[in-house]
Amino acid sequence: MPEPAPVEDVLEPHLPICDPHHHLWDFPGSRYMLPELLEDVVGGGHRIESTVFVECGSFYRAGAAPGWEFVGEVEFAGGVAAMAASDRYNPLVGNESGRACPVLACEGIVGRADLSMGAAVEPVLERQVRAGNGRFRGVRHAGGWDASEAVRNSHTNPPRGLYASQAFREGFSRLSALGLSFEAWQYHPQLPEVTDLARAFPETLMVLDHVGGALGIGPYAGRRDEVFAGWRADIAELARQPNVWVKLGGLGMTICGFDHHKREVLPGSAELAEAWRPYIETCIEAFGPERSMLESNFPVDRASCSYANLWNAFKRITAGASSAEKALLYRDTARKFYRLP
301 contacts: CB under 8 Å, gap ≥ 6:
249, 250, 251, 252, 253, 310
Q: What is the pLDDT of residue 95?
A: 46
Which residues of the chain, if any, have pLDDT below 70?
A: 88-100
CA 75/CA 60 separation, integer angstroms: 9
pLDDT reported for residue 91: 62
Task: Return the pLDDT at 93.
Answer: 42
The CA-CA-CA angle for residues 338, 303, 108, to 5°, reads 15
What is the C-alpha to C-alpha distance for residues 250 and 85, in angstroms, rounded to an integer? Answer: 27
Q: Which of 255, 254, 286 is nearest to 189 (CA)?
A: 255
Among 259, 251, 314, 270, residue whose Cα is nearest residue 5 = 270
Contact between 70 and 113 (Cβ < 8 Å): yes
Residue 141 · residue 156 · CB < 8 Å? yes
Query: What CA–CA distance (Å, rounded) separates 166 from 161?
Result: 10
Question: Residue 323 forms beta bridges with which residues?
Answer: none
Report the distance separating Cα 113 and Cα 132, nearest Å: 14
Name every residue whose Cβ is closer than 8 Å to that of residue 194 and which is 6 or more positions away in sequence: 163, 184, 186, 206, 208, 212, 238, 244
Mark residue 148 as left, alpha or beta (left: phi above 0; alpha: psi -120 to 50; beta: remaining): beta
User: Could you give the CA distance from residue 63 to residue 89 in angstroms, rounded to a whole number?
Assistant: 31
Set out the domains of the chain in order of their start, with CATH numbers.
17-337 (3.20.20.140)
Res 89: pLDDT: 66
Collapsing DSSP to helix, strand or coil, 145 comes out as coil
Rg (CA), the chain: 19
- Cis ω before 299 (30° cut-off from 0): yes
Please report the pLDDT score of residue 1 as a whole number. Answer: 84
